[in-house]
Amino acid sequence: MINKSIKDGIISMFKVNFKVKPSESILILSDYPTEDDLINLSTNQINEMIQRIYLARDIYEVGINLGYNIFLKLYPATGQSGKEIPNDIADLMLKYDIFIAITTYSLTHTTARLNATENMKRGASCPGILPQMFGKEGPMQVDYNLISKFTIDLAEKVNEASKGLITAPNGTNVEFRINPKSCEYDTGIIDSPGDFSNLPAGEAYLAPMQNSTNGTLVVSKGWFKGLKKDMSFKIENGLVQSIEGGGEIGEKFNNLLFSKNIDELISLSRRNIAEIGIGTNPNAKNPLNILEAEKIKGTCHVAIGDNHTFSGGTVESDIHIDFVIPNARLFLDEEEIKLN
């Protein structure tokens, strides 16, 4: 039997976030661990993947009980957020009015997702989502009307500016230029054809002007899974130039971005400063779950890799990875903007 608190959150997702109509069809997607995942991921990570499969089943069962035309489909995990999903799954997304991806790896920055929304399907990518997020105090059960107003107002302020600066007590100091009218908002309201969101939602975000981002991004320990030492990214002309610290996680990212064994164009795409984002969800709290952490009100985040699905974004990459900055301060055209 589905936990009542979670069930209420799932019903709210259907009725508040999607405003599902009786005539609409819904596709629930989930990815299952491959042999590579079983060998390379921790027991906890595998367990969370299994939790998402059960969550997808719970969402499917609640939808059936509500009388919806709903279908559940699993596919082998791709191993990386932003990596394209199997062609048959991409084709399936075009056959349903609504898609909800309860997955480990994100569909947001994939051509499959972009094709679906450009063909007026609407949906959500929920990489890393966990059942407890649907609980009473979780980031799924939140006043999305308040989130919508705050987030849209914030995006409008960003769109009125030409340059931005993010600072934080951890040593982050990142400046960037803003493509005109390029800041978008993710309010969690997905009720019109072509709409798309992360769930849980709550952020304003943009692709900074190409080659314009400079400074130092510090990722604090405890704000990225497995990170036990602060990790620092040096950024010049929109590209990560070097990474210091971070222990094993720092080594992982040095290898991912700078290994001599990868093609130079792939390396450049991974080093791209892809996104500047601002969290706006007051119920988001968990710093170790990126899906939730980047929505925490009062934080900013910087992402590397792909941004071709963003307004003004031009870089296609096989990765899109976000780094969240707690206690952030945002300045637009040198004026500080209130984040809380």
Taking only the tens place, the pLDDT of each residue in 273-307 is 999 999 999 999 999 999 999 999 999 999 999 99
Q: How far is CA 314 from the centre of its chain?
A: 18
The CA-based dihedral angle spanning residues 237, 312, 165, 276, taken in that order and rounded to the nearest 10 degrees = -100
Are 229 and 320 contained in the same domain? yes
Are 159 and 243 contained in the same domain? yes
Which helix (H) or strand (E) is 124 found in, with range?
strand 122-125
Q: How far is CA 216 from the centre of its chain?
A: 22
pLDDT for the residue 309: 86
pLDDT for the residue 162: 97
Phi-psi region of 58 (alpha: psi -120 to 50; beta: other; left: phi over 0): alpha
pLDDT for the residue 5: 80
Are 12 and 31 contained in the same domain? yes
Are 159 and 304 contained in the same domain? yes
Are 117 and 253 contained in the same domain? no
The answer to whether the CB of 292 falls within 8 A of the CB of 308 is no
pLDDT for residue 1 is more than 80: no
pLDDT grade for 24, boundaries at 50, 70 and 90: very high
Are 199 and 71 contained in the same domain? no
> C-alpha distances in angstroms, 69 versus 28, 61, 73, 284, 326?
11, 11, 14, 31, 41
Residue-wise over 91-116: b if at least 16 C-beta within 10 A, else e? ebbeebbbbbbbbbbbbbbbebbeeb
User: How far, in Å, CA of 102 to CA of 316, rounded?
Assistant: 23
**What percentage of the chain carries pLDDT values higher than 70?**
100
pLDDT for the residue 106: 94
Residues 108-128 pLDDT 10s: 989 999 999 999 999 999 999
Are 191 and 330 contained in the same domain? yes
Q: Which tokens is 277 given?
A: 């984002």
pLDDT for the residue 2: 83
Are 221 and 83 contained in the same domain? no
User: How far, in Å, CA of 194 to CA of 119, rounded?
Assistant: 7
In a domain, 139, yes or no: no
Quote the domain boundaries for residue 221.
144-337
In a domain, 28, yes or no: yes
User: How far, in Å, CA of 22 to CA of 197, rounded?
Assistant: 21
Are 259 and 323 contained in the same domain? yes
- The letter for the amino acid at 191 is D
> C-alpha distances in angstroms, 71 versus 25, 62, 97, 98, 215?
8, 12, 11, 10, 47
Residues 301-339 pLDDT 10s: 999 999 998 888 999 999 999 999 999 999 999 999 999
Are 194 and 117 contained in the same domain? no
pLDDT for the residue 340: 87
Burial class (CB in 10 A: 0-12, 13-18, 19+), 45: middle
Q: Based on C-alpha coordinates, what's the Rg of the chain? A: 19
In a domain, 182, yes or no: yes
Are 187 and 112 contained in the same domain? no
| Domain end call among 89, 113, 134 | 134
Which domain CATH number covers 38? 3.40.50
When divided into structural domains, the chain yields a total of 2
